Amino acid sequence: MFIKNALLALGIVTLQSSIAAAQTPADLNDLEIAHVAYTADSIDIRYAHLALAISSNPEIQQFAETMIRDHTAVNDQALALLAKLNAQPQDNFLSQSLQSGAEAKITEMAALRGADFDKSYAENELGYHKAVIDLVANSFIPNIENADVKALFEAGLGIFKEHEAHAEMMVKGLK
């Protein structure tokens, strides 16, 4: 159930039947998981750039800058590890679903301004990190085979949990 909830929170609302018929996140191999993680990091970086462009709230801007800095660092580490392993991340249904969900969310948030945008961005960051944490902790880490890849995901999980707590504080501060 938590995986289904995580997918819903990530904006993947049209794929339940196809997921049931084809694959679940737990079926992905290490290189597909790496692709999902890179995609998820890149999406949060895009959300952050949108926040920097629209919001004038210093707390939102500081959070967005941290998201760009941290998710870029994680992705750089992931790319370095893949290069060391002489491997390429593999596109898959979950990466594609994340991407289409993000496009819809960005279109929705880009139409907002002021406090409405800040609230939407903060709540989306909280929900997004909760969902990513669920996927990483309960679906990805238990199924990753390569020890170095697993270690990177474990490090990433700690970072995402801090982001979640930070986002929660931000959401409360905006109420």
Partner 1 sequence: MHTLSRRAALSYSAAALAVTGAAPLFGHVKPDGTTEHHVSIKDMKFDPPTVELKVGDSVSWKNLDLVNHTATSAKAGWSTGVLKKGDAESLVITAEMAGAYVCKYHPQMKGMLVIVS
Could you list the residues that contact partner 1 (CB under 8 A)?
66, 69-70, 73-74, 77, 155-156, 158-159, 161-162, 165-166, 169
Which tokens hold the place of 38?
């890179």
By beta-carbon proximity to partner 1, the closer residue of 119 and 161 is 161
Which tokens hold the place of 59?
């707390």
By beta-carbon proximity to partner 1, the closer residue of 69 and 113 is 69
By CB neighbour count within 10 A (0-12 exposed, 13-18 middle, 19+ buried), where does 150 fall?
Answer: middle
By beta-carbon proximity to partner 1, the closer residue of 109 and 159 is 159
By beta-carbon proximity to partner 1, the closer residue of 24 and 61 is 61
User: Residue 134 to residues 6, 13, 61, 81, 139: CA-CA distances in angstroms?
Assistant: 6, 17, 26, 23, 7
By beta-carbon proximity to partner 1, the closer residue of 47 and 93 is 47
Nearest to 25, CA basis, from 1, 42, 43, 7: 7
Closest approach, Cβ 134 to partner 1, in A, equals 18
Closest approach, Cβ 20 to partner 1, in A, equals 35
Closest approach, Cβ 60 to partner 1, in A, equals 14
CB 39 within 8 A of CB 98: yes
Closest approach, Cβ 140 to partner 1, in A, equals 17
Phi, psi of 13 (to 5 degrees): -105, -5
Closest approach, Cβ 165 to partner 1, in A, equals 5
Rounded to 5°, the CA angle 22-156-53 comes to 90
